[in-house]
Amino acid sequence: MTRVLVTGGGTGIGRAIAQSFAASGHDVTIAGRRKEPLEDTARAGNIAIRLADITDEAQVTALFDQPYDIVIANAGAGAGTRVVDTSLEDWERTLRVNLTGTFLTFREALKSMQSGGRLIAIASTASLQGGANIAAYSAAKHGVLGLVRSLAQEVARKGITCNAVCPGFVDTEIADEAVRNVMAHLNIDRDAATARLVARNPMRRMIDPAEVVAAVRFLASAEATMVNGHALSVSGGEI
Ligand SMILES: NC(=O)c1ccc[n+]([C@@H]2O[C@H](COP(=O)([O-])OP(=O)(O)OC[C@H]3O[C@@H](n4cnc5c(N)ncnc54)[C@H](OP(=O)(O)O)[C@@H]3O)[C@@H](O)[C@H]2O)c1
């Protein structure tokens, strides 16, 4: 297995995943909407870039004009609002990028993945538990697990596995956005907001992107052949 696709590979967790696979000699492609972060990540070498919006069916189809052995559906975005303040537009946008985007990515990946492969979704602890002010994100990420567990059964006899990694708060842009939401919502400073967010993690700290990478590398490895339909929590024991 050598060809790896990472959606949302220009920043944060996706960048760390892409650079890890590239550093160990895999042929890596990263996809996202903005060229600059993709180019920045690709400077590490061994990484090709593709511009694609994973919520757009035609753009996802075009992304799979070449086959991949390992496909990591990492692109996602959070929105932090109470249900009563969530517009239908925000709700649908959150479901579209986190859930529909993962569906389109895996569906198109499967069309060219004939003899073995790995499908890995970057889900969340919000896939495993709800939380105030994250209903749309949590619903979408719960949906990702439904997709992963169902697809795992469909592909089990084709040498393909489908799994999810469920991180708690990881030190990236998306976590920073969550910190800013808590600051605004509760009118508290950054340190206090960060402390509230990591309070759910028994280790009381943000997770390093490298710790998520390690889980992804395991699920993508030959040793994980029998791990299928699993949600691997990387959360210090949060859930
Ligand atoms: N950080 C955390 O605490 C945390 C915890 C649990 C789970 N996660 C999950 O981990 C994944 C990566 O998040 P991150 O923390 O690394 O955040 P991030 O740095 O904001 O990365 C998100 C990536 O997704 C891409 N993206 C967003 N919408 C897209 C779209 N429509 N089409 C294509 N690409 C799109 C973005 O690139 P463009 O904007 O250029 O398209 C960006 O590179 C997400 O699924 C997130 O839900 C994160």
In a domain, 74, yes or no: yes
Helices (H) and strands (E) in the chain — how many of each? 9, 7
The answer on 192 and 214 residing in a single domain is no
Same domain as 103, residue 88: yes
Looking at this protein, which amino acid is placed at residue 15?
R
Is 99 found in the same domain as 114?
yes
Same domain, 18 and 62: yes
Give the percent of the chain with pLDDT over 70: 100
pLDDT > 80? residue 97: yes
What confidence score (pLDDT) does residue 174 get?
76
Q: How far is the CA of 177 from the centre of ligand 1 (A)?
A: 11
Sign of CA dihedral 215, 176, 38, 57: positive
Domain co-membership, 98 together with 137: yes
Same-domain check for residues 176 and 144: no
46 and 151 in a single domain? The answer is yes
Question: If you measure from the C-alpha of residue 13 to the centroid of ligand 1, how many angstroms do you get, rounded to a whole number?
Answer: 7
- Whether residue 185 lies inside any domain: the answer is yes
Domain count for the chain, please give it: 2
Residue nearest to atom 36 of ligand 1 (CA): 8
170: CB partners within 8 A, 6+ apart:
12, 13, 206, 207, 208, 209, 211, 212
Structure tokens at 227: 């791990």
Residue nearest to atom 23 of ligand 1 (CA): 8
Task: Indicate if ligand 1 lies below 6 Å from the C-beta of 6.
Answer: no
Residue 9's contacts (CB-CB under 8 Å, 6 or more residues apart) are: 15, 17, 18, 28, 29, 30, 31, 32, 38, 41, 47, 74
Strand partners, 72: 6, 120
pLDDT of 115: 79
Residue 180 falls within a domain, yes or no? yes
Structural domain includes residue 105 = yes
Give yes or no for residue 54 CB within 6 A of ligand 1. yes
- In whole angstroms, give the CA distance from residue 227 to residue 9: 24
Report whether 77 contacts 102 (CB < 8 A).
no
Tell me if 239 is assigned to some domain: no
Helices 135-155 and 101-112, packing angle to 10 deg: 20
Answer yes or no: is 140 within a domain.
yes
- Would 238 be classed as within a structural domain? no
Q: Which atom of ligand 1 is nearest to the CA of 177?
A: 20
Q: What are 64-88's pLDDT values in tens digits?
A: 999 999 999 999 998 788 999 999 9
Question: What digits encode the pLDDT tens for the residues 194-237?
Answer: 999 899 899 999 999 999 999 999 999 999 999 999 999 999 99
- Tell me if 173 CB under 6 Å of ligand 1: yes
Considering the domain architecture, whether residues 23 and 35 belong to the same structural domain is answered as: yes
Asked if pLDDT for residue 114 goes beyond 80, the answer is no
Q: Give residue 178's pLDDT band: very low, low, confident or very high (50, 70, 90).
A: confident
Tell me if 18 is assigned to some domain.
Answer: yes
Domain that holds residue 97: 3-168+207-233
- CB 209 near ligand 1, within 6 Å: no
DSSP, collapsed to helix, strand or coil, labels residue 167 as strand
Tokens of 59: 């753009």
Tell me the CATH number at 158: 3.40.50.720
Centre of ligand 1 to C-alpha 119, Å, is 17
DSSP string, 110-158: HHH--S-EEEEEE--GGGTS--TTBHHHHHHHHHHHHHHHHHHHHHGGG
Q: Is the CB of 170 under 6 A from ligand 1?
A: yes
Q: Are residues 86 and 199 in the same domain?
A: no
**Same-domain pairing of 162 and 198:** no
Does 97 share its domain with 176? Answer: no
Does one domain contain both 112 and 187?
A: no
Give the residue numbers annotated as catalytic, written as ranges.
Answer: 137
Angstrom distance (rounded) from CA 36 to CA 50: 11
Q: How far apart are CA 109 and CA 85, in angstroms?
A: 36
